[in-house]
Amino acid sequence: MDNTPTAMTAAHPIDRVLRASPELQDQATLDGMSDLITKVAPLLQGRRLHNIVDLLAATSDIVEMADDAMVQKLMAFYEDTTGGVWAVGNALRYASARAARAEAPPTLWRSMRRLRKDDDARRGLDMAVNFLAELGRQSRATHGPMPAD
């Protein structure tokens, strides 16, 4: 048997596919495939194409798992997150503008009087204290002793 490239490729089934497919007889198709192989060759040689295939497989798995309930939960999470960020951003802009309008910053005693008289300020302070208490509770639960099984 002769070791020329023609003799070696004639034995491969891909040679039959190449000859049997009319799409592959078109010169523009062959040129496009040649360009594609040239661009994909480094990925094949460095075995990086495996990562792309794994990414496609993972994406396919996620698409298969994405039933209506999961999509609805993700949409609700997105809307809640966006609404929360919007509300916090607006509150920060409003508070910053209000503080910037003051000629001089209030004294500590004036701020304490405001807390005593302003329901919204007390409510905001209570919310901040509750938030910090929740963070502390979660920290204690995370770093506390493990319950016995």
CA atoms of 55 and 142, how far apart (whole Å):
33
Residue 72 lies in a domain: yes
How confident is the model over 108-120, as a mean pLDDT? 88
**Per-chain mean pLDDT for the chain:** 85
Would you say residue 149 lies in a domain? no
The pTM score is 0.46
Lowest mean per-residue pLDDT among 12-21, 91-100, 117-126: 12-21
Same domain, 59 and 14: yes
Side-chain half-sphere CA neighbours of 97 within 13 A: 6
133, 93: one domain: no
- Indicate the number of domains in the chain: 3
- If asked whether residues 121 and 139 sit together in one domain, one would say yes
Residue 148 included in any domain: no
Domain co-membership, 88 together with 137: no
Residue 117 falls within a domain, yes or no?
yes
Share of the chain above pLDDT 90, in %: 34
Nearest residue to 30 via CA among 5, 38, 7: 38
Residues 54, 13 share a domain: yes
15 and 59 belong to one structural domain = yes
* 111, part of any domain: yes
Residues 24 and 44 in one domain: yes
Per the domain annotation, does 132 fall within a domain?
yes
100 and 114 housed in the same domain: no
CA distance from start to end of the chain? 71
- pLDDT, mean of residues 67-94: 92
Closest Cα partner for 88 from 124, 136, 112?
A: 124
Domain hosting 131: range is: 106-143
**Residue 40 located in a structural domain:** yes
